[in-house]
Structure 1
Amino acid sequence: MTTRASTSVETLKKEIFLLVARALGDDHARTPTGRYVALATRLARSDEAWLTRMIGWTARHAVLRRLRLAALAELVQARLETSATGTRHLLNLCLHRADEPGELLAYWLHWYGRALPQPVKRGVADAVVRLYDEPALATYDSPGAPLRFADVLALTHPVPQGETQTAVFRHAVARRRGDVNDIPAALPQLRARRALYWIPASRRPALFERPEIGRNLAEAAMTWATLQRWLLGTMTGPAWAAVVPSMSYQDRLAHLADFDRDGLPDESAHQVAEDLTAPASVLLSGVTPLEVYPAWRSMRGTRWSRALGLAMDLSLVNVPALPGRTLVLIDRSDLMAGPGYGGLTRAEAAAILGAALACRAARAKIVVLGTTAATLPVRPGQRPLDLIDRFPDAGGSAHPAQAIRTHAAGYDRVVVLTHPDQAAEAAEAVTGPGQEHVITDATSGWFTAIPHVEMARTADWPF
């Protein structure tokens, strides 16, 4: 039998998951609000098992880290109030990255004070023993962190496991005091990096003529960003060639123009192009058309053109295949001329996001609003670039709310890509479809967010 209490709990679940789902696409929604914390607190007391599963699911999405840690802290506090057992184990299980013990403790200290309950102290200490190693110290122990590694060690007193972790803990404390020169022999990566920084800046570019430079950089775990700082911002073709193998798919996309400007050797460029068009690489990276398009547009007529055109098509695999009938309304008016995602204008980002969604949907129609209105039925198998070529010029004025009232009948969902000034009126105009998505900042995260927003509204949880 459904009771008023159970109905209320289901409403809480829908609301908090809707906040989480929207945060996948909207970076402004990734900071825990008072409402989010209140929902997490109430669910921690009314359906702990469901909230625990949601926290576990959010770990799959790095952009949700702050929301996940806030919910975890509220869940732990609720368990402490009832003297529940297993809280220490829960904390250890739910901390996944080496910066998370510090972030969780910073949240706890802000809201609950410096007197750490024993389950919190011990659970975080267990996670520290599991997560704090030399690469973690090099990567996450930065002055801008909410709490440094040494602060976490002082608050939780973990017992290091082995000589190497003992050295990691001791050096973390030394770094906090500003002593970065005396690096223990048990930390070869940090010692290798220090040796590179001891080389005078004027001599560093010439090192790339030596065959051992690749090995030296690997031993020091030098990323492209670290290498760029080491070279004082002046990269060269050989320098790029040395770090290309360790760069992510998205990083390579973002630096194709730099590769050409700085003279990346043809052999390395060929390897990059092969990876850009490898279906496995596209799938593993999660890259979307909205990320590939800025590179394709800026690199037309270069050695990357063919690879980027293929990458655009392949990246559709990371766009959701929305079921039913989908209406995509794209505002390309003068209001959309401002800067948007990845160096695109708002109008350009809306166009590629909307075209990609329509190409993957089971049945879709696009309505473009700009200098003129255009209605474009979408055939299965169409390419986003072919669709965009048929769009009218950007500019003019648009009335998304009126377009919704004209076109929305008979559709299962409406996706509206418009300017923030038009959003409220557009949302009010959607009265028929069961799913509406009014998006004012087109980002690649919306490809993941849209199906999860629909799950929130129907209580069809992905966990």
Structure 2
Amino acid sequence: MTRFNTRTARAQPVSPVASTGRVLRTREGGRGHERDARSELFLLAVSHFVSQQTFYESGAARDGRFEELVRELAVSDPFWTAGLLGWLRGEGNIRTAAVVGAAEYVKARLDAGAVDGPANRQVVAGVLQRPDEPGELLAYWTSTYGRAVPKPVKRGIADAVRRLYTGRALLKYDTASRGYRFGDILNLVHAAPDPDKPWQGELFRYALDRRHRPESAVPPESDRLLTAHRALMALPVAERRAVVTSPGGAERLAAAGMTWEALAGWLQGPMDKAAWEAVIPSMGTMALVRNLRNFDEAGVSDEVAAQVAARISDPAEVARSRQFPFRCLAAHQHAPSLRWAYPLEQALRHSLANVPALAGRTLVLVDRSGSMFRSRLSDRSQLDRADAAAVFGTAVALRAQHADLVEFGTSSNAVPFRKGESALRVLGRFGDLGGTDTTEAVRRHYRRHDRVLIVTDEQYAPHRHGDPTEQVPAHVPVYTWNLAGHRAGHGPSGRGNRHTFGGLTDAAFRMVSLLESARDADWPWLHDRDADRPADAVAR
């Protein structure tokens, strides 16, 4: 009798975040599942804002676990680790963890004498994507390992300096608040100007003069932005507000590289309506989103507000600025005017462009337990992981063909919504539900759905019926979206219709489409290259 070779036989896809089979305990005492080192590092990295603690784990403990995993895999699996770090700073949009990871990657490989894998210099240069990041990496290295900076680190930083340093970058990031000024970095790494940028030599000399001889530093005449900025700074304070209110004031501020952060100091007075309206045209999309409340309090006109709304809701601008979806929620919560509600709704949808329209019936469970509320995303953010979970869960439910949206903690409740409804309005219906009884939430709400998606930190309490994924038949996919990166998972992962993703962007959702088309899903920096290949040609 044929047991396996039947017409309904199909390959079971696998995903990269994999369990080892070893049983651990979650922080709440539930039966947990250990993940292999690569999976643990990935989930920690995509949710890790360095030095930020969670409810269950101190910032120092998370930092130590992250650094230990990077050092281990930098030696045992350098190609994978270098790929992770590059993706983390690029598409993952996680800045500090990528910088710290690159430093630890180099240190581990130098200590081990490793010569295989990507060059240390290349890894360092690859994670430095913003002009202030060479100084960040140097400050981390010297504060951790002392003033002796190895050549691969210096050379990688020098490569980044040639790529990133411009007059505009100098004005924005070369400030007295930095431990390492641009001149200090140039002295330490001995970066030569880029041969294809003939103006960079003069810029480097000016950066050195600003650091060591500020009283006699004169910007190069070839740099119009720097000379225009110098002219503005030379104006008497009594004449500066007239620049802001003049017909060409906005253009003059932009030509001089005047940022909104610097404008109040230059004016030596309040950021009133005229000041904001003069600087808004030259502000970036992320800065606009962060300052909506300030615009309202200053009384910015409806005409200027309409220009702001058009920019923050433009799909190309949202993609270019790489906004995290939850930043739209933060702005919506803190901006008092209703004139921003629809533009922010559009921006949120654009930032979640990869969310698939799942066919059939989908159960979406969103963790609203105490540990999710007591873990802020960063010291500078008022949002917590509970808010991030609600954003992602709501986005999936709104796009799905048929979805049941549920919030859970000690208890669980259905969250009502209508197709086409505003995601920001739905988010206001979520509450705070105490403990973490994920298993009971699945048991109560699973009704022959085609798939289950759980957005959580995975730290569920023990339950006599077992882990949450055991409550769903084996042939039904269960996708866990981990937002905290703790060591123990609430269920197995990697095969058998049990898969775990992670991160604060929507990039992982692309894996759902791959898995449901019976194709293996690889790490995010690897699976895109196979996107157009036949399913049977995708290699693990």
Map of 2:504 onto structure 1: 446
Structure 2: which 5+ residue stretches go unaligned? 1-18, 21-34, 473-477, 486-501, 515-519, 526-540
Secondary structure at the aligned position of 1:139 is classed as helix
1:254 maps to what in 2? 290
Quick one: structure 1 residues 365 and 221, their matched pair in 2 at CA, closer, same or farther if it must change by over 3 Å? same
Distance 1:399 1:69, change over 3 A: closer
Match of 1:148 in 2: 181
The structure-2 alpha-carbon separation of the partners of 1:188 and 1:233, relative to structure 1 and needing over 3 Å to count, comes to same
Identify the residue that residue 13 of structure 1 maps to in structure 2.
38
Structure 1 residues 177-186 or 368-377, which shifts more? 368-377
Could you tell me whether the CA contact under 8 Å between 1:316 and 1:356 is conserved in 2? no
- Structure 1 residue 380, shift from structure 2 partner: 5.2
1:389-420 CA deviation, whole Å, 9 max, x = no partner? Answer: 7x48x5786764443443357664453569xx
Give the drift of 1:37: 2.3
Counterpart in the other structure of 2:444: 406
The answer to whether residue 214 in structure 2 is matched with residue 175 in structure 1 is: no
Distance 1:210 1:379 in 2: 49
Correspondence 1:378-393 to 2 at 5 A: 381-385=420-424, 387=426, 391=429
Matches within 5 A, 1:343-358: 351-352=390-391, 354-358=393-397
Residue 232 of structure 1 corresponds to 268
Kept after mapping to 1: 8 A contact 2:154/2:189 = yes
Letter in 2 for 1:375: A
1:328 pairs, out of 365, 371, 375, with: 365
Which among 127, 132, 142 is matched to residue 160 of structure 2?
127
* Larger CA deviation: 423-432 vs 271-280: 423-432
Change (3 A) 1:229 1:398: same
What is the CA deviation profile of residues 179-211 of structure 1, one whole-angstrom value per residue up to 9, with x for unaligned ones? 255223345433432332333334322222323
Deviation of residue 426 (structure 1)?
A: 8.0
Q: CA deviation at 1:20?
A: 1.4
**Residue in structure 2 matching 1:192, options 211, 228, 240:** 228
3-state SS in 1 of match to 2:261? helix
Provide the residue aligned with 1:101 in structure 2.
134
Cα offset, 1:359, TM superposition: 1.6
Q: Give the aligned partner of residue 461 of structure 1.
A: 523
> In structure 1, what residue type is equivalent to 2:90?
R
Distance 1:159 1:332, change over 3 A: closer
2:124 and 2:296 map into 1 onto residues whose CA distance is 47
Write out aligned runs for 1:426-437 (5 A).
Answer: 430-432=468-470, 434-437=478-481
> Does the aligned pair in 2 maintain the 1:208–1:238 contact within 8 Å?
yes
Larger mean Cα displacement after TM superposition, 398-407 or 244-253: 398-407
TM-score by length of 1: 0.75
Q: In the alignment, what sits opposite 1:218? A: 254
Distance 1:233 1:429, change over 3 A: farther
Q: Is the 8 A contact 1:55 1:72 kept in 2?
A: yes
- Aligned AA (2:292): L
The reply on whether 1:364 has 2:403 as its aligned counterpart is: yes
- Contact 1:288–1:318 at 8 Å: present in 2 too? no
| Partner in structure 1 of residue 69 of structure 2 | 39
Residue 102 of structure 1, CA deviation:
2.8
Show structure 1 runs of 5+ residues with no match.
Answer: 1-6
**Closer, same or farther in 2 for the Cα pair 1:388/1:12, shift >3 Å?**
closer
Give me the whole-angstrom Cα distance separating, in 1, the residues matched to 2:224 and 2:282.
19
Distance 1:226 1:319, change over 3 A: farther
1:14 partner letter: S
Counterparts of 1:112-123 in structure 2, within 5 Å, are 112-123=145-156
User: Residues 103 and 253 from structure 1, CA distance in 2 versus in 1: closer, same or farther, beyond 3 angstroms?
Assistant: closer
Retained in 1: the 8 A contact 2:325–2:505? Answer: no
1:364 match: secondary structure: strand
CA distance in 1, matches of 2:434, 2:154: 58
Report the Cα offset of residue 343 of structure 1. 5.5
- What residue is the counterpart of 2:6 in the other structure? none
> Structure 1 pair 431/409, CA: closer, same or farther in 2 (3 Å)?
farther
When structure 1 is superposed on structure 2, of 114-123 and 241-250 the one drifting more is 114-123
In the TM superposition, what whole-angstrom CA distance separates every residue of 1:50-106 from its partner, at most 9, and x where no partner exists?
Answer: 222222212215752332233323443455414569544554455333333333333
Structure 1 counterpart of 2:171: 138
The alignment yields a C-alpha RMSD, in angstroms, of 4.6
Structure 1 SS opposite 2:454: strand
For 2:97, the equivalent position in structure 1 comes to: 67
Give the whole-Å Cα distance in 2 for the aligned partners of 1:111 and 1:194. Answer: 37
Q: 2:179 and 2:92 mapped to 1: Cα distance?
A: 17
State whether residues 47 and 484 of structure 2, in contact with CA within 8 Å, keep that contact through their aligned partners in structure 1: no
Partner-residue secondary structure (3-state), 1:22: coil
Report the CA distance shift for 1:256/1:86 in structure 2 as closer, same or farther (over 3 A). Answer: closer
For residues 228 and 358 of structure 1, do their structure 2 counterparts lie closer, same or farther at Cα, with a shift above 3 Å needed? Answer: farther
Moved more, 445-454 or 125-134: 445-454
1:56 corresponds, among 86, 109, 112, to 86
Using the size of structure 2 for normalisation, the TM-score is 0.66
The 3 A distance-change label for structure 1 pair 364 and 275 is same
Q: Point out the structure with the larger helix share.
A: 1
Q: CA deviation at 1:379?
A: 6.2
AA aligned to 2:100 is A
